Structure 1
Amino acid sequence: MKSLHNFVYTIGLASMLSFTACSKFVDINTDPNNPVTAQLPLLLPATQVSMAANMYQLNSGTATFMQYTVFSSGLSRLQQQGTSFDDSWNGFYTQTLNDLESVIRASAVQEQWGYSAVAKFEKAYLVSLLVDMWGDIPYSESQQGQNNVSPKFEKGAEIYEAVFKTIEEGIAEANKVSAATLVPATADMIYGGSKSSWLAMANSLKLKLYNQVRLVNPARSADTIRSLIANAAMLMGGSNNSNAQDFTFRFGPGQNPNNRHPWHRSEYQGSKTFYQNQAFIDLLFNSDDPRLRYFIFRQNATAGLNNSNNSNGYYGRNPGDGTAAPADLNRRSTFGIYPAGGLYDNAPINNLPAANQYLTNTGATGSLKVVGPTDGNGAGLMPFITNAMVKFIRAEAALTLNTGEDARQLLKEGIIANLTSISTYASSNGGVPMAAAAINSFAEAAAQKFDAASANDKLAVLITQKYIAQFGNGMEAYNDYRRTGWPALRPPLSPLNVFPLRLYYSETELIANTSLGENAGRLQVKQQTTPVFWDK
């Protein structure tokens, strides 16, 4: 917990210093430590910093459930504790949502509609995510400080309706601003204040959420999604499949204070917390997927599963492996250049199939090493919602809700968007970009597999590609798996429980919130097996 809170503080301090350094000297008769009104240019970026920083535990834990990585042996064996996600829960409620409410209230008083719009879009995203992860949560009675220290838990379905309303309120307030920027660029670490980008985010969030609830009310979801795609230029990607409006948080390269991607902090600057999940490694390796070199960096050329020394260096851990960790910190595969800001793996790979076209040793002239603090720059990113995700969502809606679009074409566009994003990032951060022709060819090969699949299996092809493209965001993959049953996960070796349908609540919340009465213990146990309202 200490390291996470230090991360929130240091990255927040760095951003605050960058803003205050340019401020004029304050009036000596004004106490700067006790401002009368909320300082919106400082408070809004603080919400973005804390949202991304508090996601570390949540993202890493759900990425473990979804077999991207192994954050802890217990979670890999599907065993939750009351502390498994408490850093994220507590941080969202005590930091991010509190600050967002302060921005919204102060913006209304000051009639700063741009700030209010951005804060409402962030709030809608975060609250919907909390429902997706935990189901029933405190909502309308939360963020009231000492006026209500035990807010009631409300039904996720009801909160989703409030989220839809919040998005519409934000759009209306954004449209009150005639300028191209909703807030100054220095007050927005995500879009630099761009009105068009925030509106694209809002519409894309609506698309995501209505697709999320499609099993609850298919007709309503289909109608809303049709209206959104009728004006597809207002969604992420626009009309030219651009990644420019991706809703992502970009970490920095600094070490003093340290504002690097938390996965880089853990694996390149710390004593290593993670294993890479062998199931995900094998999926990419066996699928001739070039993203393997970007997602995973090998520290050893011949290490393999179970600490062997005659493999190809992709040394991870199988899901559900409960054995103790050997002395293998210098042999484990680790996070690569994307999205953690680590190293690109450009060394030869043993045992590559001769038929491979995309994951090959052509041009692989690099070498491997045990990673350290000076390797990579740590300026990674947290992909909340991206153009690639939007394309996959539209493809899913076309398949399942008959929204009228070409699912095959959208599948291709989603893959192209993801590979292009990875390639662009790599080329600016010490990696090797992918050729556009290779990206297009890889996407077409995936589309041909989609063509060959039966009607029932087309969704499996689509969601598996979305799963790979969402590496770095375990939460969205966790949502997709519960809703669709895809991708196919590897059976855990020694599970301690069934696959969790909701996350365990923070132990602190269950102890302190008296509105739960004597139901707290039973409520916690039921989380493992109780579906979220949209999971039919």
Structure 2
Amino acid sequence: MKKLLSLVLIALAGTTFTACDSFLDTNVNPNAPTDVPVEQKLPNALVKTVNLETGALNQLGAVWVGYWSKATDGPVNTSLFRLEETYGVEAMSFDRDGRPIWEDSYTTLVNYKDIENSAAATGDLAYVGIAKIMQGWHFMRLVDLYNNVPFTDALQGSKNVTPKYEDGQQVYEGAMNLITAGIEDIKAAPALSKKPVTDDVIFKGNLTLWVKFANTIKLRALLRQSEAGREGYISDELAKIRQEGSGFLGVGESALVNPGYQVSAGLQNPFWDAYYRNQAGALTTGYNTLRPTAYLVQQYKERNDPRLAKLYRPVNGDYVGVPLGATAADFNMAKTSALLGPNENGNQPAALLKSAQQPSVLLSSFESLFLQAEAAERGWLSGAEQLYEEAIKESFKYMGVPTGEFVAYNAQPSVNFALAPNKMERIIGQKWLALNSISSIEAWNDFRRLNYLSRLPQSLQSPSADPEFRPRRLTYRQSEVYTNSEEVAKQGTIDPFNSRVFWNK
């Protein structure tokens, strides 16, 4: 692992988790990609992907879907996700320090396209397939946030610096096709061709898991379109998944990324480094400022949820959250619950903070099982109740809750699937509790898709008292407005509070 880490560290940049340069970030010139073997390029790209997911995207989703708030006297209270809590979407398009979602996505897409081209030239189809799958992932994520984006004309560097924008639905379909092609490439890889092993910092060369991962991404994408009048398309794509036959990520099968995190400056797990302790063991300003929302804590309490005690530190025997946007002194650091870490948990791993070397979560087994449970409830698969229960058990396992606590938890009318008056809401509610601070952007996507956002308390810093006033998407980056102005103008006026991506009807 140390050897792999040395290969990945081709160009170590800054280590601030919400800044534009991330842990193990390798900047690639799209006009002249680094001429190194694909086994050195792959881990760089995969780490870049997970850093974006667990960094800027996780922060964005965590604030807008009701997970994160701040202690009112926290050391970075005035700066930590300030634009998110004030719904400052337009200001985000100008902000260069912390939310480079557009730029990092396309830079990473260039990385994967370079891997695809290099591997195709040598007939190494396993690498080609992985690169296509990950391109599909990123293009879908761009649509989730911006709707219409460059696709066919993208990734050409100086050959086309003003790529045309394509309809979000068409890009989603193109991304699905990329993932399908990636699966086919992996399965067609010749026995003697080069295949990833330790350079695959997710599955360690297990190509069967790569195919399951790809199918899970496809299922997520189909569920994303479940409220958009896409029944025919969804049916056709589900048939392809069934025909392929590998299924989805299941119990014990998570996509976890670990390039060799170490207790050293710039080499720790980025979430740990930002929201717990630095390499010297000192608590970070992010840790001292970040707090759960009062609403989130209440939802765990109402269900007697044992995950609460694994997630946060009690204050005088109770768990206390902060309303998003609060400024009152009653919500200061001393009176509210911080994240629980090993130092506060008898040197045992906690729910989110396990160790400086812990892997980053790209797509968890419990998210996959919740996706399958929803698909089953919609009649696409079978066994909704069993999948729902397995998802909760996997979440318990990840957060360190003893297995034996599931039975009593699941017996409660507020949790039990069979007793749910609305089974879809029950699935999404438990999924929301499970994805807390792990894949927050996916929880926000669910709440947008199903129009649940108004169920969440509005930020006290909202510029509007209308309970429906919530960000629905991002606006195009000013860097893109300056360099590709004609194409951006063709997309019309974008109102981030009313303009919606194609799947959010």
Partner of 1:435: 402
Whether 1:535 aligns to 2:500 is: no
Tell me which of 51, 71, 76 is aligned to 2:85.
76
Partner of 1:349: none
One-letter code of the match for 1:54?
A: L
User: TM-score if structure 2 supplies the norm length?
Assistant: 0.80
Task: Output the CA distance in 2 between the equivalents of 1:459 and 1:327.
Answer: 34
One-letter code of the match for 2:255?
A: F
Tell me which of 108, 115, 118 is aligned to 2:120.
108
One-letter code of the match for 2:386?
A: Q
Deviations along 1:57-100, one digit per CA (max 9) or x if unpaired, are 12101110001113524312333221467422212222x11111
Deviations along 1:270-289, one digit per CA (max 9) or x if unpaired, are 32253322221221122211
Secondary structure of 2:362's match? strand
Partner of 2:39: 41
User: TM-score if structure 1 supplies the norm length?
Assistant: 0.76
Q: 458-467 or 248-257: which moved more?
A: 248-257
**Structure 1: where are the runs of 5+ without partners?**
14-33, 303-311, 337-341, 347-365, 424-433
Q: What's the offset of the Cα at 1:199? A: 0.8
Secondary structure of 1:175's match? helix
- What are the residue-to-residue correspondences of 1:244-393 with 2, within 5 Å? 245-250=253-258, 253-268=261-276, 269=278, 270-272=284-286, 274-298=290-314, 301-302=315-316, 312=317, 314-321=319-326, 323=327, 328-329=332-333, 332-336=336-340, 342-343=341-342, 346=345, 377-393=355-371
Give the direction of change, closer, same or farther, for the CA distance of 1:515–1:281 in structure 2 (3 Å limit): same
Q: 38-47 or 378-387: which moved more?
A: 378-387
Give the direction of change, closer, same or farther, for the CA distance of 1:515–1:274 in structure 2 (3 Å limit): farther
Q: What's the offset of the Cα at 1:252? A: 5.0
One-letter code of the match for 1:317?
A: V
Whether 1:420 aligns to 2:387 is: no
Deviations along 1:331-387, one digit per CA (max 9) or x if unpaired, are 653333xxxxx43755xxxxxxxxxxxxxxxxxxx599xx9xxx9632344433222
Does the 8 A contact of 1:483 with 1:534 survive in 2? Answer: yes
Partner of 2:104: 91
Q: What's the offset of the Cα at 1:54? A: 2.7
**Structure 2: where are the runs of 5+ without partners?**
1-12, 27-31, 70-79, 279-283
Task: Output the CA distance in 1 between the equivalents of 2:432 and 2:19.
Answer: 31
Which one has more relative contact order, counting CA pairs under 8 Å at least 6 apart? 2
Secondary structure of 1:290's match? coil
Whether 1:510 aligns to 2:488 is: no
Task: Output the CA distance in 1 between the equivalents of 2:192 and 2:410.
Answer: 35
Secondary structure of 1:384's match? strand
Does the 8 A contact of 1:57 with 1:88 survive in 2? Answer: yes
Partner of 1:54: 52
One-letter code of the match for 1:218?
A: E
Partner of 2:428: 463
Task: Output the CA distance in 1 between the equivalents of 2:237 and 2:427.
Answer: 22
Larger gyration radius, structure 1 or structure 2: 1
Tell me which of 183, 191, 201 is aligned to 1:171.
183
Does the 8 A contact of 2:47 with 2:259 survive in 1? Answer: no
One-letter code of the match for 2:338?
A: T
Whether 1:450 aligns to 2:417 is: yes
Give the direction of change, closer, same or farther, for the CA distance of 1:251–1:178 in structure 2 (3 Å limit): closer
Secondary structure of 2:198's match? helix
One-letter code of the match for 1:75?
A: E
Does the 8 A contact of 1:252 with 1:380 survive in 2? Answer: no
Does the 8 A contact of 1:297 with 1:343 survive in 2? Answer: no
Task: Output the CA distance in 1 between the equivalents of 2:370 and 2:448.
Answer: 16
Does the 8 A contact of 1:190 with 1:247 survive in 2? Answer: yes
Tell me which of 471, 483, 488 is aligned to 1:500.
471
Give the direction of change, closer, same or farther, for the CA distance of 1:436–1:517 in structure 2 (3 Å limit): closer
Secondary structure of 2:417's match? helix
Partner of 1:398: 376
- What are the residue-to-residue correspondences of 1:23-34 with 2, within 5 Å? none
Deviations along 1:126-180, one digit per CA (max 9) or x if unpaired, are 2111111221122222221122222222211010111111112111110122559
Q: What's the offset of the Cα at 1:465? A: 0.3
Give the direction of change, closer, same or farther, for the CA distance of 1:8–1:48 in structure 2 (3 Å limit): farther
Task: Output the CA distance in 2 between the equivalents of 1:378 and 1:265.
Answer: 7
- Percent identity of the aligned residues? 22
Secondary structure of 2:416's match? helix
Task: Output the CA distance in 1 between the equivalents of 2:199 and 2:263.
Answer: 22
Task: Output the CA distance in 2 between the equivalents of 1:36 and 1:481.
Answer: 40
One-letter code of the match for 2:458?
A: P
Whether 1:135 aligns to 2:139 is: no
Does the 8 A contact of 2:150 with 2:165 survive in 1? Answer: yes
One-letter code of the match for 1:167?
A: I
